[in-house]
Amino acid sequence: MLSSIYQPTTYATRSHYPTVSTPTGTLEQQVGNTPLLHLQKTADSFNIPRTVQLFAKAEWFNPSGSVKDRAALNIIRTAERHGQLRPGMTLLDSTSGNMGIAYAMLGAARGYKVKLALPSNASPERIAILRAYGAELILTDPLEGSDGAILVARQLASADPTVFYANQYNNSANWMAHYFTTANEIWQQTHGHITHFVAGLGTSGTFTGTTKRLKELNPDIRALSMQPDTPFHGLEGLKHMETAMKPGFYDEGLADENVVVRTEDAYEMARFLSRQEGLFLGISAAAAVAASINVAKTLDHGVIVTVLP
């Protein structure tokens, strides 16, 4: 008699299932603690000496894919603690894209409706993501950019006092998210060896919060803010501060130096990083790397850290 070549699997009863050993947790617990990438190949390609190390925080590891998860989560939690955001309420704000996606994701997870003023020339992909999360979109004049969206959000907030106006450009919970998380992660990941911090300016929350904390840990750390070289630029999410509406917590004197990046250079860097490093980044992230390379070229030694938002 031939024995069967198929032996049915005997499954354990539920009480005998093994304990899950991989990291688990809620969606919100996945925000932060992002990897720090060593961009040695990029540094070598631009003839940066090996005594100058270039690192970048990979913020796309956050659940919604950007650094904005940190600020959005802290804004929501802070508003809840202060009784400003309660069950059944709608969260309202303006956005150029990523912050809105973070709001929409967290709003869905926490049971809030989300209403966003967004320039109508935002990418179709971003608009599709926001709508997939259930956000209500108010598309604003593309010629007025993010500043126009801010004005529309303010008008909507004034007309409807029942909403929670998150006001990311003037909400201290924005930059404090980076003071308590991003900066401390960078300090720990570099074992306190960071000498230069580079970040772009949009709301300026990432730069402000991270810089304030890093300078408390070591006042000798140099902080360099990055922004577009002209008011008419293609660096989505970044502001040309001289001509834009300045965020309420933006401190012009906080940066030790301001670095400008041309849109063309950011696009060129994005192509380089995808083909040479395998990093498929957005333009604002590529601009941050371009700015960091410019800084690295002026140094004989140092540890530069930037944020890929």
Considering just the CA atoms, what is the radius of gyration of the chain in Å?
A: 22
Verify that 196 and 299 share a domain, yes or no: yes
Higher pLDDT, 3 or 131: 131
Say what the pLDDT of residue 13 is. Answer: 42
Q: Is 245 helix (H, G, I), strand (E, B) or coil?
A: coil
Verify that 184 and 56 share a domain, yes or no: yes
Average pLDDT, the chain: 93
Say what the pLDDT of residue 23 is. Answer: 61
Q: In degrees rounded to 5, what are phi and psi of residue 188?
A: -70, -40
Q: Is 304 helix (H, G, I), strand (E, B) or coil?
A: strand
85 pLDDT exceeds 90?
Answer: yes
Q: Looking at the domain assignment, is residue 7 inside a domain?
A: no
pLDDT band at 63; cut points 50, 70, 90: very high
pLDDT band at 303; cut points 50, 70, 90: very high
Contact by Cβ (8 Å): 145, 118: no
Verify that 151 and 282 share a domain, yes or no: no
pTM summary value:
0.91
Q: Which residues are catalytic?
A: 68, 284
Query: Hey, what are 207's tokens?
Result: 């730069």
Distance CA 123, CA 128 (A): 9
pLDDT band at 20; cut points 50, 70, 90: very low
pLDDT band at 6; cut points 50, 70, 90: very low
218 pLDDT exceeds 90?
Answer: yes
Please state the domain count of the chain.
Answer: 2
168-197 pLDDT, tens digit each: 999 999 999 999 999 999 999 999 999 999
Contact by Cβ (8 Å): 209, 247: no
How are the residues of the chain apportioned to helix, strand and coil, as percentages rounded to the nearest 5? 40, 15, 40
Say what the pLDDT of residue 11 is. Answer: 36
From the DSSP assignment, how many helices (H) and strands (E) are in the chain? 10, 10
Verify that 198 and 304 share a domain, yes or no: yes
Say what the pLDDT of residue 96 is. Answer: 87
Verify that 179 and 285 share a domain, yes or no: yes
Contact by Cβ (8 Å): 226, 260: yes
What sign for the dihedral angle of Cα 27, 283, 39, 218? negative
Say what the pLDDT of residue 18 is. Answer: 43
Amino acid at residue number 70 = R
Pairing of strands 257-261, 222-228: parallel
End-of-domain residue from the set 126, 143, 165:
165
* Mean pLDDT of the region 4-26: 48
Where in the sequence is the domain holding 185, given as residue range(s)?
Answer: 32-63+172-308
Angle 283-296/263-272 helices, nearest 10 degrees?
Answer: 90
Query: Hey, what are 16's tokens?
Result: 């005998």
- The CATH code of the domain that includes 137 is 3.40.50.1100
Query: Could you say which DSSP state residue 176 is in?
Result: H
Number of other CB atoms surrounding residue 83 within 10 Å: 7
